Structure 1
């Protein structure tokens, strides 16, 4: 089974943003050594507890400190930007790090309404134009605009020997259809979706239209998982991540991922307990063998080609160990 890493670059309650970003570099290096297929880093704006607002900056830094693992954005939020600039940026990365660059494309704002307005004009209109933005980006990446197009003579330089691999990321049928219609591989965010993922992926497979001869539909399933030496420890580590998610839902969590001690001091009311339980059900927790069994089952259930794992713990060491235990069991 192909396994990959999605990193949201979380900041723990006792960390600085710089320390969190350095831990992201360490995680990519560990993933490189352990044989993970790819490492993607997310884009967020003015969200307390998340350090990365510019994946393209981190990818240049991480690329220079890793050797083989594919690296990419998970995702670059296309409605904020001009496709030409994104193509130039990722062509630069693909020139520096040949055959290692992925460009994950998303449509979410990645932050609050105020941050969105500060970052870009007419975001909602750009979201409606997402199909056009995706097509333009693909043309810039592959240098294949029709001759009559206004940008037919515009090159997103430098032109790398091997183009970055574009992926469409999403959590809905709309994103799956957009990926399929453009012949793009699709990454479904199971860890953050309440929709019927199996039906969404089936829709993607059925509607897939190859962009090039021989192209096949390809699916990454992104899941939340924490692995530890015992089931009890994995459950305990998950408490911090779950509490932080709950705090963010209530507009709190500005201090980052809480410690276990901080988590245990918080008393949940009945509504919060229900939310907590629901969020926990969407996580994969346990020992290496338990996690392996669950990952294999979910891969079969969704018919995914690859599993991408997002892991958030208070301690960076626990996060790295989780990926190590999974790799030792499965790679």
Structure 2
């Protein structure tokens, strides 16, 4: 059985606005809850006009208020830019408001270029290598068991909560898997970012997992781009806007998702066409039969517990249809 969840980056389509993108994120959370999806995560991105989700915790509060059962989470909070103590406070506040519905996914990504990072930290140069230490400190704040020699021992993250958010470590390599295993928390592999090395990372995570107060067994999900439509031709038509968008993201500048018409009228260099081909393993595109086969094969490859589905295409109605078709392909049992 394939368990389905969602990652949404609140992408801004050309001709639309960030306000509309955020509104569509809320609509998609409601729809996927009705369809039985297990969790709905939002991302954190900075200094980019094509992704409206710059503050996952703020957006999570709004989404949880407009849904009633689906788990709401971050995919993820970029911990290197922040204080573990403050992130713990935010997580416990959310857990008090929405008990047993909050996922705290944590990422090591810088969230932007060097100047953007400095703007986020107000000029403090923080090392990404501190990420494992920061997660350990965050876990200590959430569990209220910082060691006595910790510099912030005696500082409590309020408000206290009777339940705890699920902790997820986001990664694209063996290093992230090792960290998640040592901490005894769940692991997400970002296939949509990097489609190589996931098998080894997840295998290592499961082999090295150390049970913790958070969970006794390893738990995994894999995030992948999916575009599903009634026909292969229709799916490919929409997927071309994703192909084009990934090129734009790599270049920087305007990162809004171009329309099908704009993409059709655009000419690509040989290098760009090669890059589009290289990006295709990061996604599954096709009709329902093809997509079902693709996801089933990917699960056999990774032996993962669930998929986070991300569908960054221009046409929002086609995006909703893709999630609806997936729910028909893989009927979800009640997790609530």
Q: Deviations over 1:55-86 (max 9, x none)?
A: 11111111100010000100000000000100
CA contact (8 A) 2:43 2:74 kept: yes
Alignment of 1:77-226 (within 5 A): 77-120=78-121, 125-212=126-213, 215-226=216-227
Report how far residue 269 of structure 1 moved.
Answer: 1.3
Aligned to 1:261: 261
> Which of 17-26 and 213-222 deviates more?
213-222
Report if the CA contact (8 A) 2:42-2:56 is conserved: yes
Moved more, 33-42 or 315-324: 315-324
Equivalent-residue separation in structure 2 for 1:301 and 1:308 (angstroms): 16
**Shift, 1:122, TM fit:** 7.0
Alpha-carbon displacement from aligned partner over 1:91-140 (angstroms, at most 9, x marks no partner): 11111111000000011111122211111157764311111101110011
CA contact (8 A) 1:244 1:253 kept: no
Counterpart check, 1:76 vs 2:50: no
Counterpart CA distance in 1 for 2:281 and 2:99 is 39
Between 1:137-146 and 1:27-36, the stretch displaced more is 137-146
CA distance in 1, matches of 2:241, 2:201: 30
**CA, structure 1 residues 327+252, in 2 after alignment: closer, same or farther (shift >3 Å)?**
same
1:192 alignment partner, SS class: coil
Instruction: Provide closer, same or farther for how the CA distance between residues 123 and 260 of structure 1 changes in structure 2, counting only shifts above 3 A.
Output: farther
Rounded Cα–Cα distance in structure 2 between residues aligned with 1:107 and 1:229: 37
- How far residue 328 of structure 1 moved from its aligned partner, in angstroms, is 1.6
Shift of 1:45: 0.5
Q: Report the equivalent of 2:240.
A: 239
Deviations 1:266-323 (A, max 9, x none): 1111111111112123210112222122111111110101111111110111111110
CA gap of 1:314–1:286, structure 2 versus 1, over 3 A, is same
- List alignment gaps of at least 5 residues for structure 1: none
Q: How high is the TM-score relative to the length of structure 1? A: 0.96
Q: What SS is found at the alignment partner of 2:7?
A: strand
Displacement of 1:147: 4.1
Tell me the equivalent position of 2:23: 22
Deviation at 1:216, TM superposition (A): 1.0
What are structure 2's unaligned runs of at least 5 residues? Answer: 332-336
Aligned CA RMSD, in angstroms, stands at: 1.6
My pick for the range that moved more, 45-54 or 189-198, is 189-198
Whole-Å separation in 2 of the counterparts to 1:141 and 1:292? 39
Give the distance between the partners of 1:179 and 1:219, measured in 2 at CA: 10
Cα deviation for residue 12 of structure 1 reads 0.2
TM-score where L is the length of structure 2: 0.94
Q: Count how many residue pairs are aligned between Structure 1 and Structure 2.
A: 330
Match of 1:312 in 2: 312
Cα distance change on mapping 1:149 and 1:117 into 2, 3 Å: closer
